[in-house]
Amino acid sequence: MIEDRGFIIHQGAIPADAQERLVADIRAVAAAAPFFSPETRGGRRMSVRMTSAGRYGWFSDRRGYRYVERHPSGVPWPPIPESVLALWRTYGSRARDPDCCLVNYYGAGAKMGLHRDADEADFSWPVLSISLGDPARFRMGGPERSDPSRSIPLESGDVVVIGGAARLSYHGIDRIAFGGSRLLPKGGRINLTLRVVD
């Protein structure tokens, strides 16, 4: 385990066979609520594709960032898989389950700029981040965008707890090593982030 700036990184937390089961469960989520490319407030398409599971899904367009109760197609979000909830209960909290599992897929060249998760009602709950597939460089900053930051590698099966002092800190993904893992046959990285919304 590594703790840096309040971010807690559990390296190798998920065994290989459990990673494969998680990917199968996420494929079922994506079959019910297909991946889409959100638009930023400025009108640009994000380089990641995303979908969600749970009571809410995270959504972005020119109107801003928010949680919505339905996929852009109009269908309700599918339930969060039990395999994912088990990780939340181990590393996040046993007091209540999350309302949203945001699923981000990073293909070749995809990245995520510095941001903080601030669309939730109660910041006392952590955000749990689960890495599957290709390695990534995870950048950690502070509560202000201008704070110094540093990046560390994340591997498939790593779990990051973003809570406490880091709950409103800026973070992002600099890049992925596309094709650096055998978990996803066509390459890429899946990142699951679990959030309590209400």
Tens-place pLDDT, residues 4-51: 989 999 999 999 999 999 999 999 999 999 999 999 888 889 999 999
Beta bridge partners of 16: none
Q: State yes or no: pLDDT of 90 exceeds 90.
A: yes
Count of structural domains within the chain: 1
Beta bridge partners of 45: 39
Tell me how far apart the alpha carbons of residues 46 and 54 are, in angstroms, rounded to a whole number. Answer: 22
What residues contact 96, with CB distance under 8 A and at least 6 apart?
125, 196
**Residue 6: CATH number of its domain:** 2.60.120.590
Tokens of 178: 């596309």
pLDDT category, 93, cuts 50, 70, 90?
Answer: very high
Kindly report the length of the chain: 198
Burial of 1 (0-12, 13-18, 19+ CB in 10 A): exposed
| pTM strictly above 0.85 | yes
For residue 41, the model assigns a pLDDT of 84
Amino acid residing at 119: D
For residue 43, the model assigns a pLDDT of 84
Tell me how far apart the alpha carbons of residues 10 and 6 are, in angstroms, rounded to a whole number. Answer: 13
Each residue's pLDDT tens digit, 67-80? 999 999 999 999 99
Q: What is the DSSP string of the chain?
A: -EEETTEEEETT-S-HHHHHHHHHHHHHHHHHS--B--B-TTSPBPSSEEEEEES-EEEEETTEEEEESB-TTSPBPPPPPHHHHHHIIIII-SSS--SEEEEEEE-TT--EEEE----SS-TTS-EEEEEEES-EEEEE--SSTTS--EEEEE-TT-EEEE-GGGTT--EEEEEE-TT--SSSTT--EEEEEEE---
Q: What angle do CA 18, 194, 114 make, to 5 degrees?
A: 110
Domain housing 113: 2-195
For residue 96, the model assigns a pLDDT of 97
For residue 17, the model assigns a pLDDT of 98
pLDDT category, 124, cuts 50, 70, 90?
Answer: very high
